[in-house]
Amino acid sequence: MPVTAPTVNLRHPAALIGAGAVGGVVFGLVAGEWAANLEVVGDLFIRLVQMAIVPLVMTSVIVATGSMAGAGTGRLAFRTFRWMLSLSVVAALVAWALGQAIRPGQGMVFAGELDPELAESAGPAAGWQDTVTAFVTTNIFDAMSTATMVPIIVFSLLFGVALNGYVARTGNRMVLDLFDQLQQVVLGLTRLVMHVAPVGVFCLLAALAGDVGFRVVTTALAYLGTTLLGVVVLTVLFVAIVTVRARINPARLPRKLAEQTAIAVTTTSSAVTFPTVLKNTVEKVGVSRRVANFTLSVGLTMGSYGAVLNYTIVVLFLAQAGAVELSPGQIVFGMALAILLNMGTITVPGGFPVVAMFLAASLGLPVQAVGLLIAVDWFTGILRTFLNVNGDTLVAVLVANAEGELDRDVYDGHRTVSVAASDDVSTEAVTAGAVAPAGALAGNGSRAPE
């Protein structure tokens, strides 16, 4: 029997976005500064996705908590937070080990003061008490208007718990069904927007390459290399944990995560990638809607393992660049700050200056070195976002497996589901009402129809 080579689906969203990214970089390098004219198109794409983030996160958390029965809410929350906190600690420890071994800041020389514009963009550093207090808002509409995600999630969790109690007492599901339907409408909206993702990514990267190029990378290769190595180590470690605990075939993961990875590394935004992560985790990985809604929504701000890794490396880089010897207590404090900031900072590009200045001020580290880190933050943003979004999906798999809500037929490509299907039918084949044989699904063997 002749052996046929595997074919590449050039219409797959990941392939189209990848082509847009490569084309944008090439065009930007050739066109130079003129490519900055395309930035407005890229910004419009980012805004189109961002406008749906707040209603999508709110409805996802409310539906997930509001529809739970019995002790399900507390158990799901405990498992989610346990894995997120544990993996965040692991990320900080890996960063510390790599920072001590490679010492990326050693030998760096910084002349002059920090660029005033960078200092101004970072703003004043708030204390940890202010950071914790800001987790709860006094005006939910104000938090929604500024897309401050942590207080939005806290409000949604409490609202969902209260709604759960109301449904249990009265049996009236009208409000719960309303939020469920709103979530489906917002998901439909994001599907429409994602059709222009390749064009948006092309314009974003064309403007970046034309304005900055890659010349700044050479001045921070050790820092970028340490972060890259940390991402590789943590990715392998996380996949190994999922493989052992959930007993899944890791070879299937790259194709299932390809689309969200492409969006993550080209937009460097966990928020922009969130709708795609939610869709893929249900439709391609087989996690139930209940678990995906809760775990991924919380993970949007609390599951940023790439951020924890990067922030810990930043602490060590600044200390080594300024020849500052950190005591064991200061190192632990720095790692704790990295984990805390992971839960309190925004999930869109542009938040790094705040974090870097806060870390420098909190530990008495040289602020002059911050300018270099901010200059190359787009590149580290790629690495952070890659680990953030894929780490959230892997945590969702771990939680779903423990809850008995991981559909292995979906993961193995024997069945397709839609994120629009209710939990009551999510374990059935919702396309054509029958189980499809392996390899007989549209497109690739694991992708639900658009």
- Supply the CATH number for residue 213's domain: 1.10.3860.10
Residue 439 forms part of a structural domain: no
Contact 374, 356 (CB under 8 A): yes
Residue 262 forms part of a structural domain: yes
Range of the domain at 286: 13-406
What CA–CA distance (Å, rounded) separates 296 from 412? 21
Residue 166 forms part of a structural domain: yes
Q: HSE of 164 in the Cβ direction (CA atoms, 13 Å)?
A: 20
Give the 3-state DSSP-derived string for 90-110, with helices as H, strands as E and coil as C: HHHHHHHHHHHHHCCCCCCCC
Residue 402 forms part of a structural domain: yes
Q: Which one-letter DSSP state was computed for residue 406? A: B
Per-residue confidence (pLDDT) for residue 333, from 0 to 100? 86
Q: Which residues contact 49 (CB under 8 A, 6 or more apart)?
A: 190, 193, 194, 271, 272, 275
Which is nearest to 137 in space by CA: 123, 160, 153? Answer: 153
Per-residue confidence (pLDDT) for residue 219, from 0 to 100? 55
**CA torsion 442→397→242→348, rounded to 10°?**
90
* Token pair in block for residue 141: 């509409």
With a cut of 70, list the residues of the chain below it in pLDDT: 1-14, 69-73, 107-131, 211-219, 343-351, 353-354, 368, 371, 375, 420-450
Phi, psi of 421 (to 5 degrees): -75, 150
* pLDDT tens figures, 213-227: 555 455 578 888 999
What CA–CA distance (Å, rounded) separates 432 from 271? 33
DSSP string, 356-384: HHHHHHHHT--GGGHHHHHHTHHHHHHHH
Residue 322 forms part of a structural domain: yes
Coil vs helix vs strand at 3:
coil
Phi, psi of 406 (to 5 degrees): -110, 110
Per-residue confidence (pLDDT) for residue 434, from 0 to 100? 36
Instruction: Look at the chain and report how many structural domains it folds into.
Output: 1
Q: How many residues does the structure list for the chain?
A: 450
* Token pair in block for residue 320: 């080594």
pTM: 0.71
What CA–CA distance (Å, rounded) separates 225 from 354? 23
Task: Calculate ∠ Cα 294-298-301, nearest 5°.
Answer: 160
Residue 418 forms part of a structural domain: no
Contact 446, 440 (CB under 8 A): no
Residue 181 forms part of a structural domain: yes
Per-residue confidence (pLDDT) for residue 447, from 0 to 100? 29
Per-residue confidence (pLDDT) for residue 215, from 0 to 100? 54
Phi, psi of 311 (to 5 degrees): -65, -35
Residue 36 forms part of a structural domain: yes
